[in-house]
Structure 1
Amino acid sequence: MTTTRLIVWRHGNTDWNAEGRVQGQSDVPLNALGGQQAVDAAELLVRLRPAALISSDLRRAADTAAALAALTGLSVTHDERLRERHFGSWQGLTMAEVARTRPDEHARWKAGADVVGGGVETLDDLGKRVADALQAAADAVPPGGTAVVATHGAAARQGVGHLLGWPREQLRTLRALQNCHWVELSHDESRGWQLAAYNVGPFSDRPVPPPV
């Protein structure tokens, strides 16, 4: 049975991550820590021998993907569908500022509501567009190959959940991905998509296959 592997990789740290500021689709670059995280993660992911490398076109994801491209020789394909959730009027604010100035919207977001308000993209729309991009990435590799997708935290979780067919309530039980950590999915004709690993990264205890 041929199994295709899909790695859904969150970008490295940014100054807005460090400040607890809502990035959404603001084009914030990696900071020095994030750049090093990308290099450290790439040294592990290259061992999976990816056949395709796809990234959000936002700089923090694209530059994360570039660290792996440098080791594999692969070109990075950019896909706007892999962008982070659009957070509308929240972008640039800290969560404390959102809670203070937009309390009703913040309460709906904290409760996991699909529609938050304030121009925030719905979870359903987010999940559909990211899942479409993830499926396209998997389709871009030969059967049994590995595709690596560099994206964002909320985008990764919602897109993976949509691809797996999980209800929103189940998806909320997953912790947020750490910077430069990833989700591993597998697909075969008989079982479809399955979750193989979650929140794996340079500082994870889960072993990564040695170079071959």
Structure 2
Amino acid sequence: MSLERGTEQITRVLLWRHGNTDWNAEQRVQGQLDVPVNDRGRAQAQAAAAVLARHETQLMITSDLSRCTRTAAPLAELTGLTPERDARLRERNFGDWQGLTTPEVRERFPESYARWRAADPDPGDGIESIADLGKRVSETIRQAAERVPGGTVILVSHGGAIKYGVAALLGWPEEMLPTVAPVQNCHWVDLMLQPSYGWRISAYNVGV
């Protein structure tokens, strides 16, 4: 069923962050390393799926990393959808920092860590720039919406990918980004595309 406001069809895209992992709890940089969800993450996914299944979703796409595909599994069971995988929904590549805890990063890479803390969009050490991250994720959002005009899409992704993908899609200025909180585990962002208005954000960091 399509969403309609007046005579216009509204396309909806929900960006859902994966469930908790042991590395989240350890404050260890995951980036694009394939870290699985833990028991808490699986329970989060099950609870969120019961809520998200209320939407009449036509398409579900996940990051190809297992913490996203495993998060998507309970919703796939409830909806009967077969999730597609798209590497463009992966988390930001954190280069030399991947696998390290935050204190280890601060000790080994003090200059780039300081730049990152100061919201430098390209801090170095092989870390993917905010511009590149936002471009690949926002493109995926647009293309997914084009496939189901007037319908609903769920994209299962990662905290940084969701935040910066949404920012790029909506044209948020760079200086605004540090004021936007990260999306929590198994929470989501609700976007709406209406022909007369374009893209708008309906809800941010929503959870069970």
User: TM bucket by the smaller chain?
Assistant: over 0.9
1:64-84 Cα shifts (integer Å, max 9, x gaps): 111211100001010000000
The correspondence for 1:134, drawn from 135, 141, 146, is: 141
2:130 matches 1:86: no
Matched to 2:197, the amino acid is: R
1:9-20 matches, within 5 Å, as: 9-20=16-27
2:25 matches 1:40: no
Aligned equivalents of 2:140 and 2:162: distance in 1?
11
Q: CA RMSD in A?
A: 0.8
Aligned residue number for residue 113 of structure 2: 106
How far 1:172 sits from its partner (Å)?
Answer: 2.1
Aligned residue number for residue 180 of structure 1: 186
1:19-71 Cα shifts (integer Å, max 9, x gaps): 00000000000000000100100000000111110000000011111121110
How far 1:149 sits from its partner (Å)?
Answer: 0.3
Instruction: Extract structure 1 runs of 4+ deviating beyond 6 A.
Output: none
Aligned residue number for residue 209 of structure 1: none
Aligned residue number for residue 150 of structure 2: 144
Aligned residue number for residue 21 of structure 1: 28
Aligned residue number for residue 190 of structure 1: 196
Aligned residue number for residue 104 of structure 2: 97
TM-score normalised to the size of structure 2? 0.95
Aligned equivalents of 1:8 and 1:190: distance in 2?
22
How far 1:108 sits from its partner (Å)?
Answer: 0.8
TM-score normalised to the size of structure 1? 0.93
How far 1:86 sits from its partner (Å)?
Answer: 0.2
Matched to 2:144, the amino acid is: A
Unaligned residue ranges in structure 2 (runs of 5+): 1-7
Aligned residue number for residue 62 of structure 2: 55
